[in-house]
Structure formats: structure tokens, C-alpha cells
Amino acid sequence: MKVLLLSGSPRKEGNSYIALKEIGDELQRNGVDYKIIELGNKPVRGCIACYKCIELGRCVFEDDIYNKVFEAAKECDALVVASPVYFGGPNGSLCALLDRLFMSAGKHLQYKPAASVAICRRGGASATFDSEQVLPYDKYASYRFTILEQCSWTYTR
């Protein structure tokens, strides 16, 4: 059993990473394997609504971070997405990647349990959870994530 822990933050080993590491340590204590992927600070292109992923089963754009997350999404048994809160929502590069991932890898993720974490300094965590980006995709029948839990984490380093 392996859980994919995905951080949307551009800050290497920032607060989102710290929150995910806490989750990872707890998973490990319970005999569950995990893998953390950080999106990093390179540009992430967004979905261009070409709908080619429906034929190809993956996005037409094969950038490194998409390929890495796509492969990990296929292999994982569960998914946790952590996002820093940016102006009351998830950060932009995470949204760009998740739009493409959920459009193209829905079949690899469906029925897998999922959870989300919002990391903020002051506020905006609930808006981030509600934003239809950080795992809201359970709303769309074809993806059918089971959201186990949503938690927010306030930590400033």
C-alpha cells in the first residue's frame, strides 16, 4: 500500500512539505508506504481544453512534473494533496497541474481514497477546500474520490 503525498508549494520543503511529512511519518508508523512529490518552482502549464487526453489517456503535454505525478498517481493506492493558501484559494501551479491530471488520469484515481490539506498563515483554508481544485473532484461522478479528511495547518517558517 502506497500513499502519494503531493505538495503544490513552490517552496522546497516549506510548510506544505512539513505537513505532508507529518502525515507520511504517521503512515509509516502504521506500516503504510508513502511518496512525497513537490511541484517545485518551475512553470507548470495549464489545461488548454483540447480534450485529446480522452483519446490518449494522458495529457498532450509531457513535461517532467506532469509525467512524474501521472505515473505516481497510477501506482498509488491513495492520494493526499496539500496546498498553500494563496489569496483564499489553492496556489496556481497546483491548480494548473491538477486540471490536467484529473482530466487525464481520472480512471487511475477513481475510487482511491483521498484527503486534502490547506496550509495558511491567517485564513482562507475553508475557501481553498471549497474551491473545486484541491480534491473537489469527488463532485464529478467519474472521478469518485473518497475524501477522508480535510485539515488545515497554520505554520510559518
CA distance 88 to 131: 9
Q: Grid coordinates standing for 13?
A: 520543503
Length of the chain: 157
Q: Is 2 in the site for ligand FMN (CB under 6 A)?
A: no
Q: Is 111 in the site for ligand FMN (CB under 6 A)?
A: no
Q: Is 123 in the site for ligand FMN (CB under 6 A)?
A: yes
Residue among 29, 55, 122, 141 that touches ligand FMN (CB under 6 A): 122
Q: Least separation, in Å, of the C-beta of 47 and ligand FMN?
A: 21
CA distance 119 to 16: 6
CB-side neighbour CA atoms (13 Å) of 50? 14
Q: Which stretch binds ligand FMN (CB under 6 A): 25-33, 81-89, 106-114, 142-150?
A: 81-89
Residue among 4, 5, 6, 15 that touches ligand FMN (CB under 6 A): 15
Q: Which is nearer to ligand FMN, 74 or 121 (CB)?
A: 121
Residue type, 88: G
Give every CB contact of residue 32 below 8 A, 6+ residues apart in sequence.
1, 2, 3
Q: Which residue is nearest to ligand FMN (CB)?
A: 14
Cβ atoms within 10 Å of 153's Cβ, excluding its own: 18
Distances (CA, A) of 120 to 77, 79, 99, 136: 27, 20, 22, 19
Q: Which stretch binds ligand FMN (CB under 6 A): 11-19, 46-54, 63-71, 72-80?
A: 11-19
Q: Is 6 in the site for ligand FMN (CB under 6 A)?
A: no
Residue among 11, 21, 45, 108 that touches ligand FMN (CB under 6 A): 11
Q: Using CB under 6 A, list all residues that contact ligand FMN.
A: 9, 11, 14-16, 84-88, 119-124, 155-156
